[in-house]
Structure 1
């Protein structure tokens, strides 16, 4: 009996009726079909919210500012989501409507508990880490949230065989930042830098997105500058009167869309993207424009001044905002936030941006007026058409 060996698919034997010849296929490579078929992982539907696109995504930080937008966009394209939460389940339950029935699953977790993290990622092929904090609490320091937590998530993802990891970082993170309004270097910037390094060490193919100041509904950028805690009546202290800081804020929906596009594109592995807006502005011009949109212009009595001329009252207010509310500072007023506020956005032109991920960037003049409507002076006054002229947008900073 003659035997013919052919390179090809899975090893098998074909024996004709006469039994004289056997054909043996020798396996030369591994195929996805080798494993037991998982029919639940197959794509189903037309691609909308009531379909399944084949992606199972775990979103750490799902209840946060950016996380809610990411979950909504994931649900729109038919992604099955596993949403880890801590604390009260009802804080996360509102995300149930992001996807169709059975597509949004919840699991409790603690960023210090490896077993809960492994349980959250064991069925996922994409993991998105959005966990972050602008200020320290009695339970979690910056190192816990920005360094050890991401390192633990990245390592467990690698051990569990997760295909893609996307980590949200900070644009101006650096190892040795120069202090601006603080007495020492910003631990927020340092921890964000070290956290990015930790993720790369544990998961070398991770996709990093470095975001500048992110604005949108319920943000910590526009709301903090509009807060009554941030100013003294009608007077607002700014670092060097706002003339030494250049900002390039980005809309939260654009950042969320970039994360979705990165999750669906395997070519984004090992890449670092900069999440910045389409235009750069002087911080002073932005602040004046914000207050004019809130109908708190010069006629209202608004004025800004250099923070250095307020060495007692403003630091005292910052201290009170943190002492009176240990869980979170009133008005999001704290020194790390002020340090972040007066930091100039530095963009590396050698690195890709959100536009390289196929995102059409939103201009601030098209979105910010709507975001600041709840903070208008005399909010319930019904104005006549044209009574309050639309303030011109701030000039674009030319470097």
Structure 2
């Protein structure tokens, strides 16, 4: 800036002798160093009331895994950008993940690139945990798991985002082996193609492949506990669940692995298998859930081969035709991948390589299934009920 000064040799000769002189004058620098990255303003010693220099955009933040990821990020002083669709009411509780001014919300649509760009342009970390168990008329598995992640990865790269973490699925494969469906699980196939799309657009992205995730409001333990999944007191499973091996993992462990990967730049370009510490036969695992719920053989529980129950097949079909959310998340693609054995690639790292101490399902299932127990309001005496025997471990 400059100030205007008027000088004159004599007040009497103002009109004839006056002259105009421009003299530079400034009280601050006129060359402003613009830094659009909020990560430059790191402060605090750690914790929810600090800022650790990371600005993270979490897609799918209001989901089962996404909400836990946001909580762990906020607990370490990460500033959060939460894109949401639908009503803000669904994501409003995430405001508590960080201190005042640490959690921001922005509406978005997975098919609207401008809204995605707005969500990631100030971030140095993008985490994609978007997921849906079934297809809708607006979003197919291809839209959710292939086109959406590709757009997020491409736009993040264009905006200069430093790091990206993408959540896939353990049994993701290009051509899944069919069990009940002629072409296998479309979910698992789309997850595989989504990995390839993210790799093309953001080669250094970190990919997580979780097995079945259990936790509060999950779609694994509580899924089998739901009344609609049963046929009366019987549990229909493919070949009684005796041909399927599962290695479920705690939602807290997966979220901790994502947090640890976000802190470590050496994880760039890696694929991590998010699996639990033990392997179980699916049928034995479901039996254990019902023992915990005090719904044993005396209660009437039994499991059987669903291949010989046309009424269950009819129920699944009718459930998929209903508008809105399927009752108890029941659908053919869900049932198909439920009976796919978890295959672990020993050449790939796991959560333990990220320093995560894994949780046993036996330590969490009793609390998660407490609301489903038979005679839940009966005030039993201490030791009146025998402690449920844990499920056998498969070597």
| 2:237–2:306 CA contact under 8 A, matched in 1 | yes
For residues 189-240 of structure 1, give each alpha carbon's deviation from its aligned partner in whole angstroms, at most 9, with x where no partner exists: 1100000000000000000000100000001111211111111111111111
Write the distance in 1 (CA, Å) between the matches of 2:179 and 2:296: 28
Could you tell me how far 1:368 is from its partner in structure 2?
1.2
Q: Contact 1:289 / 1:391 at 8 angstroms: preserved in 2?
A: yes
Counterpart in the other structure of 1:308: 307
Contact 2:44-2:51 at 8 Å conserved across structures: yes
1:239-274 alpha-carbon deviations (Å, 9 max, x no partner):
111110000000000000111111111001000000
Aligned to 1:396: 393
CA distance in 1, matches of 2:380, 2:38: 59
Corresponding residue for residue 113 of structure 1: 112
Q: How far off its partner does 1:321 sit? A: 1.7
Matches within 5 A, 1:89-128: 89-128=88-127
1:339 aligns with 2:358: no
Alpha-carbon separation, structure 1, partners of 2:299 and 2:60: 39
Contact 1:321 1:331 (8 Å CA) reproduced: no
Give the equivalent residue in structure 1 for 2:170.
171
Listed as ranges, the matches of 1:165-314 within 5 Å are 165-310=164-309, 312-314=310-312
Following TM superposition, by how much is the alpha carbon of 1:387 offset from its aligned partner in structure 2, in angstroms?
A: 1.3
Task: Give the drift of 1:341.
Answer: 0.9
**Are 1:363 and 2:360 an aligned pair?**
yes
TM-score normalised by the chain length of structure 2? 0.90
Please say which structure displays the higher CA radius of gyration. Answer: 2
Query: Residues 39 and 164 (structure 1 numbering): CA distance in 2 closer, same or farther, change over 3 Å?
Result: closer
Deviations 1:154-200 (A, max 9, x none): 00011000000000000001111111122332110110000000000
Q: Secondary structure at the match of 2:227?
A: coil
Q: C-alpha separation between the residues in 1 aligned to 2:38 and 2:260?
A: 25
The gaps in structure 1 that reach 5 residues or longer are 1-33
- Quick one: distance in 1 between partners of 2:214 and 2:338? 13
> 1:323 Cα shift?
2.1
Residues 161, 287 of structure 1: alpha-carbon distance in 2 compared, 3 angstrom cutoff: same
Task: Spell out, residue by residue over 1:273-326, the C-alpha distance to the aligned partner (whole angstroms, 9 max, x if none).
Answer: 00000000111110100000011011111000111121x1001111222223x2
Could you give the per-residue CA deviations for residues 18-50 of structure 1, whole angstroms, max 9, x where no partner exists?
xxxxxxxxxxxxxxxx97566763321120100
Deviation, 1:141, is 0.4
Q: What's the offset of the Cα at 1:380?
A: 1.6
Note the aligned Cα RMSD (angstroms).
1.3
What is the rounded CA distance, in whole Å, between the counterparts of 1:282 and 1:39 in structure 2? 48
Tell me, yes or no, if the aligned pair for 1:135 and 1:142 is still in contact at 8 Å: yes
Q: Look up the SS of the partner of 1:229 in the other structure.
A: helix
Given the alignment, which residue of 371, 377, 380 partners 2:377? 380
Distance in 2 separating the partners of 1:224 and 1:395: 21
May I ask how many residue pairs the two structures share in their alignment? 363
Residue deviations 1:324-366 (CA, integer Å, cap 9, x gap): 3x22110111011101110100000000000111111001111
The 8 Å contact of residues 294 and 374 in structure 2, kept in 1 or not, is answered as yes
Q: Distance in 1 between matches of 2:132 and 2:330?
A: 13
Equivalent position SS for 2:394 = coil
TM-score computed with the length of structure 1 as normaliser: 0.89
Separation in 1 of the partners of 2:232 and 2:384? 25
In structure 2, C-alpha distance between the alignment counterparts of 1:389 and 1:40, rounded to whole Å:
54
* Aligned equivalents of 1:66, 1:87: Cα separation in 2: 19
Tell me if structure 1 keeps the 8 A contact 2:77–2:98: yes
Which moves more between the two structures, 315-324 or 219-228?
A: 315-324
CA distance in 2, matches of 1:329, 1:39: 41
SS in 2 for 1:105: strand
Q: Which runs of 5+ in 2 are unaligned?
A: 1-31
Deviation at 1:383, TM superposition (A): 1.4
